[in-house]
Amino acid sequence: MRHFRLNFTLLLIAVAALAAAATWLYNAGLWPQATLASVAAAVCAGTLARLVWKLIDVMSTFVSALEMNDTTLQFDFGNADASLCGMARAMNRIMEMYHANLREIETGKIYYDRILRVMTHEMRNSMTPISALAFDMERNPEKYSGGQLREALGVISAQSRGIKRFLDSYHSLTHLPPPEREEIRATDFFRRILQSAVAETTERGLPENTCRFSAGKEMKLCIDSALMGQAMTNLVRNALDAVQSTERPEVTITASVSDGRPYITVADNGCGMDARIRDSLFQPFVTTKPGGSGVGLCLSSQIVRLHGGTLRLLSTSTSGTTFAITLP
């Protein structure tokens, strides 16, 4: 845009100056010079008009593309002057940013539509036995006395607790606070993660040295240690689930720098996961674990995304699974 403004200003000044010069020369009786000045002014005016009309045409196309959500449009002025080429690059950047934002909005809509579908399904499943029991108790009160009444109330109580647990899980997914970042040594952060992991391995009856980590002594992370700690704990807990029945269980956390960015992996030597599980890996409320909430990986992914990073499944096979976190 700087080139365009400069060219536009110079052409405008040239037209005004040449027109003034032509008038003065005509008044002075210098006809040949006045004619040359008039021709030069006309040429500059024509160049200015072409520049403005080209801008109007391109801007009209640009605005129409935005109105029609056509994010595939690319502007190319070929061998035009630097001002128009610079403008083309600027508009292409705007289109790319618009496309990225639109894709993010659509992804978010799909994500929340999926959550809504799962919520509806889970709530219906939980409410069906409650409503059926309540209806039957209302129609046949004589059936419910003593042990039968306690049994019916137990079912209602259990289903109600399930609904509360489900809603608490949903709340944790949708009410994550913005990260309060602080610079922290990677070794200090992972040492705390390892301490809680060791306590959990003891509870599970796994060897104390099941979990281990390695990180550069000078490596630092700029993170919300509480939020990222929650994400890492979920990943480690899943890894411990995977190695629960492994003969020599191992869970390895590694932190390094890749392309100037913190790169963290959590690897286990469990039995891996099948394609069905992989396809719904980060989908909320989907779990194969008895009593699981199905929010752990989804929550971890959300936390990493809030930090501007990515969480992905790096590899899985019959000899183990590895998750990778890349942070900015």
- What CATH number did the domain enclosing 194 receive? 3.30.565.10
Q: Which two tokens stand for residue 4?
A: 């365009």
Q: Are 310 and 321 in contact (CB under 8 A)?
A: no
- Kind and range of the H or E run holding 313: strand 310-317
Residues 187 and 304 both lie in one domain: yes
Q: Is residue 235 part of a domain?
A: yes
- Mean pLDDT value across residues 244-261: 88
pLDDT at 265: 92
Residues 39 and 96 both lie in one domain: yes
Q: Is residue 146 part of a domain?
A: yes
Rounded to whole angstroms, how far apart are CA atoms 193 and 227? 12
Other CB atoms within 10 A of residue 39 CB? 12
What percentage of the chain carries pLDDT values higher than 70? 70
Q: Which two tokens stand for residue 225?
A: 């240690």
pLDDT-wise least confident of 57-66, 248-257, 301-310: 57-66
Residues 228 and 118 both lie in one domain: no
Residues 95-105: pLDDT tens digits?
Answer: 777 767 666 66
Confidence of residue 264 (pLDDT cuts 50, 70, 90): very high
- Mean pLDDT value across residues 28-38: 78
Q: Which two tokens stand for residue 39?
A: 């021709």
For the cut 70, the answer to whether the pLDDT of residue 279 exceeds it is: no
Residues 321 and 186 both lie in one domain: yes
For the cut 70, the answer to whether the pLDDT of residue 5 exceeds it is: no
Structurally, the chain folds into a number of domains equal to 3
Higher pLDDT, 16 or 59: 16
Rounded to whole angstroms, how far apart are CA atoms 197 and 211? 7
Range of the domain at 123: 111-174
Give the rounded distance of the alpha carbon of 100 from its chain centre: 11
pLDDT-wise least confident of 237-241, 262-266, 313-317: 313-317
Residues 294 and 189 both lie in one domain: yes
Single-letter code of the amino acid located at 109? K
Higher pLDDT, 323 or 73: 323
| CB burial readout 238-268, b (16+ within 10 A) else e | bbbbbbeebeebbbbbbbeeeeeebbbbbbb
Residues 250 and 163 both lie in one domain: no
Residues 9 and 67 both lie in one domain: yes
Q: Is residue 96 part of a domain?
A: yes
Closest CA to 18 of 47, 53, 61, 55: 47
What is the gyration radius of the CA atoms in the chain, in angstroms?
Answer: 33
Higher pLDDT, 84 or 310: 310
Residue 324, helix vs strand vs coil: strand
Name residue 262's beta-bridge partners.
257
pLDDT at 291: 52
Q: What is the largest CA-CA distance in the chain?
A: 122
Residues 192 and 322 both lie in one domain: yes
pLDDT-wise least confident of 20-29, 45-54, 110-119: 110-119
Domain stop point among 101, 130, 163: 101
Q: Is residue 106 part of a domain?
A: no
Confidence of residue 324 (pLDDT cuts 50, 70, 90): very high
Confidence of residue 263 (pLDDT cuts 50, 70, 90): very high
Q: Is residue 233 part of a domain?
A: yes
Domain stop point among 55, 74, 101: 101
Residues 241 and 305 both lie in one domain: yes
Residues 142 and 231 both lie in one domain: no
Pairing state between β 220-223 and 261-268: unpaired
Task: Quote the crossing angle between the two packed helices 186-204 and 225-242, to the nearest 10°.
Answer: 40
Q: Is residue 321 part of a domain?
A: yes
Domain stop point among 79, 101, 123: 101
Q: Could you give the residue ranges of the DSSP H alpha helices within 175-224?
A: 186-204
pLDDT at 174: 67
For the cut 60, the answer to whether the pLDDT of residue 240 exceeds it is: yes
Residues 93 and 127 both lie in one domain: no
Residues 122 and 19 both lie in one domain: no
Provide the mean pLDDT of the chain.
76
Higher pLDDT, 285 or 222: 222
Q: Which two tokens stand for residue 258?
A: 């890749």
Q: Are 296 and 234 in contact (CB under 8 A)?
A: yes
